[in-house]
Structure 1
Amino acid sequence: MPDAIATVVGFARTLRAAGVAASPDRVHAAVGALTVLDPARRADVYWAGRLTLCGDVDDLDRYDRVFAAYFGAVYELPRSRA
């Protein structure tokens, strides 16, 4: 799990640079979510982060772009319903 924590922290730093207010409390929530999910599964990482690191509907598109850039665009990300 230490690698997953470092990855979430680095990802959150990148999100903040893109304008997403991924606060320390939100990062802690994302790490907590990954303790019950599988941090090796891309979809688990995606949804754990999207549901915990984003605080506003305006964050969702930025999150998707940063996620694809940070983790690589392996497959098309789900479209936002907002």
Structure 2
Amino acid sequence: TFERSEEDAVTLSEISDSKGSLVATPLRKPFRQENLKPQEAYILDTVSGSIYVWLGRQATKRVSKSIYIKESGVSYTIYNSRTAESI
């Protein structure tokens, strides 16, 4: 069904700089809140036009900026019903 296909298309990516450079890593399902690390940021793409960002309280300034300001080298596509944009 359409609902199942949309649920399967949801992606969660972890944004980290723990190894010296910014990296966006897609995570495997099932997604659980207890798996979110406070030193990282996460992007949830629902593919239905909604993007959610979770920024951990201990995330570095570099990770924070990469989420809110498009100055990082992380290649991550945001899908929107109007535009496609990279951060």
Give TM-score, length-normalised by structure 1: 0.36
Give TM-score, length-normalised by structure 2: 0.35
**Structure (1 or 2) with the greater helix fraction:** 1
**Structure (1 or 2) with the greater strand fraction:** 2
